[in-house]
Homo-oligomer: A and B are copies of this chain.
Amino acid sequence: MPKLIEYQDMAPRAKTVVEGIAQARGIDPAAINNVWKALARHPAVMERFAAEMKAAFAPGKLDPLTKELVYLAVSITNQCDYCIASHGAMAQAKGMTEEMHEEFMSVVLAAQKGNKITTAYRVPVDAAFEEK
């Protein structure tokens, strides 16, 4: 099976998922991103991921850019190149300026350091941070 399956070659279940995403984004289904072309071989996994992404990015209390930054922070920490490239581009499309990007990176790197410091020094959780 090829690594990437183009829209026109997908099975009906995969096509339906792609059409839903394409419609929501106002793009042609044939222009869908590679991640969906790769997932097309496994329609059940594909449907669940599409539904989960839709729910995660549905309008709510957090604004769309904040959500992209959270997604990007996870992707940098996991060192996922595809996700950094794609959600970096989406964060820019949703308003992330170069200045915001730099501030974001400062927080990501500070967190990274804080994570390793508290682990390396085996710091016990303060009583004040424990939920009752």
Distance in angstroms from A130 CB to nearest chain B CB is 7
Within 8 Å by CB of A53, from B2, B104, B114, B129, lies B114
Among B70, B98, B100, point to the contact of A107 (Cβ < 8 A): B70
Question: Roughly how many angstroms separate A70 CA and B103 CA in the complex, as a whole number?
Answer: 11
Distance from A121 Cβ to chain B, minimum over Cβ atoms (Å): 4
If A34-B124, A122-B85, A131-B1 touch, whether A61 touches B113 (CB-CB below 8 Å) is no
Q: Closest residue to A108 on the B side, CB-wise?
A: B74
Closest to A67 in B: B107
Q: Which A residues between 15 and 37 are near B, CB-CB below 8 angstroms?
A: 33-35, 37
| Chain B residues, CB < 8 A from A101 | 42
Candidate in A49, A60, A97, A129 with the most chain B CB atoms within 10 angstroms: A129
CB of B70 within 8 A of CB of A119, answer no
Not counting A2-B131, A62-B100, A85-B129, a sample of 14 additional A-B residue pairs whose C-beta atoms are within 8 angstroms of each other reads A3-B131, A39-B121, A41-B98, A48-B106, A52-B106, A52-B113, A56-B106, A60-B99, A73-B77, A76-B120, A77-B77, A79-B119, A83-B115, A85-B125
